[in-house]
């Protein structure tokens, strides 16, 4: 890390971004979905600037974490359709305007 910069392997970062999106999309607890939203949008800006195409469909992680589900609240109705994707993409575009190129 030098001058607030660090080199990241694009393949490793793509795997991280894809896993982060999959986790964020399948999160069923309203608070746990809302808290990382800014971070997720920022990561999407960085991925786009690195020329990384992200996977908007969640990966199948069934069994990886023991199939533990939060039963407190149901999954948001728009979390599995285009509205979730469009909202996150818009937030990412909005943040991108304020981030140095």
Q: How many independent structural domains does the chain possess?
A: 1
Q: Is residue 2 in some structural domain?
A: no
In which domain, by residue range, is 35 found?
Answer: 10-95
Q: Is residue 101 in some structural domain?
A: no
Could you tell me the pTM of the whole model? 0.71
Q: Is residue 3 in some structural domain?
A: no
Q: Are 29 and 72 in contact (CB under 8 A)?
A: yes
- Residue 19, burial from CB neighbour count under 10 angstroms (0-12, 13-18, 19+): middle
Q: Is residue 51 in some structural domain?
A: yes
Cα–Cα nearest to 16, from 42, 75, 87, 67: 42
pLDDT at 60: 52
Task: Tell me phi and psi for residue 85, to 5 degrees.
Answer: -60, -45
Walking along the chain (101 residues) 10 residues at a time, the average pLDDT comes out as 82 95 86 89 93 76 47 47 82 91 76
Q: Is residue 100 in some structural domain?
A: no
């Amino acid at each position: 890390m030098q001058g607030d910069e660090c080199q990241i392997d694009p393949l490793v970062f793509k795997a991280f971004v894809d896993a982060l999106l999959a986790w964020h999309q399948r999160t069923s607890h309203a608070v746990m979905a809302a808290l990382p939203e800014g971070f997720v949008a920022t990561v999407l800006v960085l991925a786009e600037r690195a020329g990384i195409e992200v996977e908007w469909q969640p990966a199948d992680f069934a069994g990886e974490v023991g199939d533990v589900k939060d039963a407190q609240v149901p999954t948001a109705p728009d979390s599995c359709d285009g509205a979730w994707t469009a909202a996150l993409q818009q937030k990412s575009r909005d943040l991108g305007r304020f981030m140095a190129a």
